[in-house]
Amino acid sequence: MLFHVRMDVTIPHDLPASEAAEIIAKEKAYSQALQSSGKWRHIWRIAGAYANYSVFDVKDNAELHEILSGLPLFKFMRIEVAPLLRHPSSIRDGDG
């Protein structure tokens, strides 16, 4: 199943810089491993915001929830999820 996910990050200003840097480094490694596995298909930064639009390709809602709640920055995120279906007018193969 494909899911469109928007993630907005708000790191508290009083979080020590070293702790924030450590969490961000863990987040990068976690997200890149998921990208390598094919589960995190696309990620785009939203200009002017600490936010992204992503596309996940996972088995079901439960797997997506497990992945998202495992993000090191999860506790600092507002997340919106929308399931995606292949459009009947699409000319691209392999998008479903």
Q: How does DSSP assign the chain, residue by residue?
A: -EEEEEEEE---TTS-HHHHHHHHHHHHHHHHHHHHHTSEEEEEEPTTSSEEEEEEE-SSHHHHHHHHHT-TTGGGEEEEEEEE---TT---TT--
- Is the pLDDT reported for residue 93 higher than 80? no
Q: Hey, what are 60's tokens?
A: 């079901």
Single pTM value for the model: 0.90
pLDDT tens for each residue of 4-21:
999 999 999 999 999 999
Each domain of the chain, given as residue ranges in start order, spans 2-84
Q: Which fold has domain 2-84?
A: Alpha-Beta Plaits (3.30.70)
